[in-house]
């Protein structure tokens, strides 16, 4: 009789345990999608690497990223404006220094995943340059997460001088902007964490995403624009503050070692071409 009870108890615990493990497997895991949010050809790339490659042209990728978390959908960057898609030959700005091209709208890439702009709960922007904020006005339901220093300048003349383009985010209700004070663990579980990295602009920031299979990935914002600049620690002439840029680079490089993360340089065309694009994803 005792033996029978023991066997029954063991069976019940095995059943309970297997139930538990299947529940864990079924819970939605963190997913990261990479979107093509345009391309920028720079006429003279020495603008980004002073004294080096003078007069040489270089094309930069412009990526956006969707992070699906059980507690909400977060978009990191909103890219070049979707309106550019109608310009088949692209658009030249700043006396031809930059040529902008959009081949796929951000909206259509979200739609392909069954999502609308209203389904985005958070938009986090590395900074307020136009190539990172182009479609922000679409996301009227989202909380917009930027550093407080960046928010303080968002609608000012001073911000305009720093190449902030308020026309790309001025339709968002002011109460939806959240000014962050440094590091921010967005979902309070350590999976998606903003790191301050000022210098390129006053409140520039990067994003760490801890993926179960892929490992930890840091999305660079404009900490670097391409790999060679990372190797030689070159600071673009247009950066707001060179000393801050250099100390942010040191801080983020140290963080990458501490948390064992890879850095994805968002504008680096070679990196972008090696990525799985949405609807494929990283997990």
Closest approach of Zn ion to the CB of residue 118, in Å = 27
Site stretch for Zn ion (CB under 5 A), options 79-87, 88-96, 154-162, 216-224: 216-224
Helix, strand, coil content of the chain in percent (nearest 5): 35, 25, 40
Nearest distance from C-beta of residue 200 to Zn ion, angstroms: 6
Interaction of residue 31 with Zn ion, rule CB under 5 A: no
Number of residues that bind Zn ion (CB under 5 A): 2
Interatomic CA distance for residues 147 and 196, integer angstroms: 7
Taking CB under 5 A as the criterion, which residues in 83-142 touch Zn ion? 129
Where does residue 113 rank: exposed (0-12), middle (13-18), buried (19+ CB within 10 A)? middle
Q: Is 150 in the site for Zn ion (CB under 5 A)?
A: no
Q: Does 77 bind Zn ion (CB under 5 A)?
A: no
Among 77, 150, 222, 244, binds Zn ion (CB under 5 A): 222
The residue (of 199 and 211) whose beta carbon lies closer to Zn ion is 199
Which residue, 129 or 143, has its beta carbon nearer to Zn ion? 129
E strands in the chain: 31-42, 58-69, 72-76, 91-93, 98-101, 122-124, 143-147, 177-180, 184-185, 192-196, 205-211, 215-219, 261-264
Q: Where on the chain is the footprint of Zn ion (CB under 5 A)?
A: 129, 222
């Amino acid at each position: 009789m005792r033996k029978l009870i023991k066997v029954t108890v063991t069976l019940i615990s095995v059943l309970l345990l297997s139930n538990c493990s299947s529940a864990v497997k079924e819970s939605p895991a963190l997913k990261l999608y990479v979107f093509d949010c345009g391309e920028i050809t720079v006429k003279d790339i020495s603008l980004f690497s002073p004294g080096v490659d003078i007069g040489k042209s270089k094309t930069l990728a412009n990526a956006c990223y969707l992070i699906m978390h059980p507690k909400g959908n977060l978009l990191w960057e909103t890219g070049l404006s979707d309106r550019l898609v109608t310009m088949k030959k692209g658009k030249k700005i700043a006396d031809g220094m930059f040529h902008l091209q959009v081949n796929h709208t951000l909206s259509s890439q979200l739609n392909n995943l069954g999502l609308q702009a209203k389904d985005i709960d958070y938009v986090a922007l590395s900074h307020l340059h136009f190539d990172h904020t182009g479609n922000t006005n679409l996301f009227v339901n989202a909380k917009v997460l930027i550093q407080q220093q960046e928010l303080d300048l968002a609608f000012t003349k001073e911000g305009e001088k720093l190449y902030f383009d308020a026309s790309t985010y001025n339709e968002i209700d002011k109460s939806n902007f959240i000014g962050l004070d440094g590091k921010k663990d967005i979902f309070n579980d350590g999976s998606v964490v903003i790191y301050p990295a000022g210098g390129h602009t006053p409140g520039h920031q990067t994003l760490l995403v801890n993926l179960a299979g892929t490992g930890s990935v840091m999305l660079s914002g404009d900490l670097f624009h391409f790999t060679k600049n990372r190797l030689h620690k070159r600071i673009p002439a247009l950066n707001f503050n060179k000393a801050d840029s250099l100390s942010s680079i040191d801080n983020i490089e140290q963080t990458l070692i501490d948390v064992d993360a890879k850095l994805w340089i968002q504008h680096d065309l070679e990196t972008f071409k090696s990525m799985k694009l949405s609807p494929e994803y990283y997990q």
